[in-house]
Amino acid sequence: MEYVSFFDLLLFILTVLLFVNVIMNKLRIKEPTETLVRDALPSVSVLIPTRNEAKNIKACLNALAAQDHPRFEVIVVDDSSTDSTLQVANEIASNNDRIRLARGREIAPHWIGKPYASFQAAQASRGKYLLFMDADVVLNRKALTMMVSAAKKRGAGIVSMIPFQIKEGFIEGILAPFKYFHLFLLFPSYAMDWPWEPLAAYAHGQCMMIERGAYKRIGGHSSGSESIREGVALARAMKKKGGKIRLLSGASLAKAKVHGKPPDLWEGLTRYLYSMANRTLIGSMLLAVLYFSLFVFPAIKILALPFTAEFAGPQLIAPIVQILFGIIMFLTAVGSFGLTFGEAIFLPLGALIWVGMFIRAMLVVMSKQGILWKGRKIHLS
């Protein structure tokens, strides 16, 4: 124990506590198993806001066209794409009368692009349930049936699903999983049933189903009109109204591409962190310190110790154990969503880059210059 400092012990205890949270989240966030008799399935409107999604929209719509749900429609509202998104979507829609396309209106004051396009799609919809879905999500044939069955049987106002991540290349492989890891590591999903804690509410905006009546009660997307993470905003509004929220694993029911290769990946993840930093700058600073301390500092210590004057081999034990425990926790949290062991062993490097993106996001917030996404500058109030 003489080679284990108080700081090492503190880091290990904190890691164990966070690992407990990861396990509790994994036990709660499971794939849906509910199924309803085909004739009892409520109607669903699948609503897809698009902006420059020509590379993704074909696979998304083809998968929807193959769904086994008997009563659903698909509405695509395009948010001023400058590529061939609408042309590609129109080719598919021309052969499937379930799919309707529309050009989005000019963004209204106090809205940002995606929530406004989603709002317009909801206005044109007819389904009992509204599935808001990103164009880079591809559903398994039974996903729509499973989601609406889970929503109805659990009496939930919002049911959202976390898709399996499709990654290409080394950088995507070590960085993209942090978006999910952040959720499993720090968010207490079990607290979503606590009515006295309004902030403990989360919905995954990539694939989020809302019962129509509940959607109207929370004011629709106006609850998240100026939010990059509108799923969280709508979930919190739902909880304040007393509605139930359920978060599901979609590891075998849905898959989604990450933001793309650098620099798009960097911009996409920084945009995600920018919304967090804009809400709580001090909290983001603490999170950056947390990630650095837990996952980066032990690796730096291992590299630096051999060059110190009083180096002894047992001094490496504590940081090595810390890193190994972190890798195990990383795999436990998001291994089912596409993280491989080969990617997980680079946890310290990925965490270092993640901290760098945290810092950049905080600097953007402090500078008030806004963040660029798909050719459009976004400013959060």
Domains of the chain by start residue, with CATH:
6-25+266-378 (no CATH), 29-171+185-259 (3.90.550.10)
Q: What pLDDT digit, counting tens, does each position of 168-214 carry?
A: 889 899 999 999 999 999 999 999 999 888 889 999 999 999 999 99
Query: What mean pLDDT do residues 154-169 have?
Result: 94
What is the pLDDT averaged over residues 292-310? 88
Of 142 and 317, the structure prediction assigns the larger pLDDT to: 142
On average, the pLDDT of the chain sits at: 90
Is 17 a residue whose pLDDT tops 60? yes
286 pLDDT more than 70: yes
Model pLDDT for residues 98-153, shown as the tens digit of each residue? 999 999 999 888 888 899 999 999 999 999 999 999 999 999 999 999 999 999 99
Q: What percent of the chain has pLDDT over 90?
A: 69
pLDDT confidence of residue 267: 76
pLDDT in tens, 342-355: 999 999 999 999 99
Between 12-21, 168-177, 209-218, 325-334, the lowest mean confidence (pLDDT) is in 168-177
Question: Residues of the chain with pLDDT > 70: what percent?
Answer: 97
Q: Residue 1 pLDDT more than 60?
A: no
Mapping DSSP onto H, E and C, the string for the chain reads CCCCCHHHHHHHHHHHHHHHHHHHHHHHCCCCCCCCCHHHCCCEEEEEEECCCCCCHHHHHHHHHCCCCCCEEEEEEECCCCCCHHHHHHHHHCCCCCEEEEECCCCCCCCCHHHHHHHHHHHCCCCCEEEEECCCEEECCCHHHHHHHHHHHHCCCEEEEEEEEECCCHHHHHHCHHHHHHHHHHCCHHHHHCCCCCCCCCCCCCEEEEEHHHHHHCCHHHHHCCCCCHHHHHHHHHHHCCCCEEEEEEEEEEEEECCCCCCHHHHHHHHHHHHHHHHCHHHHHHHHHHHHHHHHHHHHHHHHHHHCCCCCHHHHHHHHHHHHHHHHHHHHHHHHHCCCHHHHCCHHHHHHHHHHHHHHHHHHHHHCCCEEECCEEECCC
pTM attached to this predicted model: 0.93
The pLDDT assigned to 284 comes to: 86
pLDDT band at 260 (very low <50, low <70, confident <90, very high): low
pLDDT digits (tens, 9 = 90+) for 202-229: 999 999 999 999 999 999 998 888 788 8
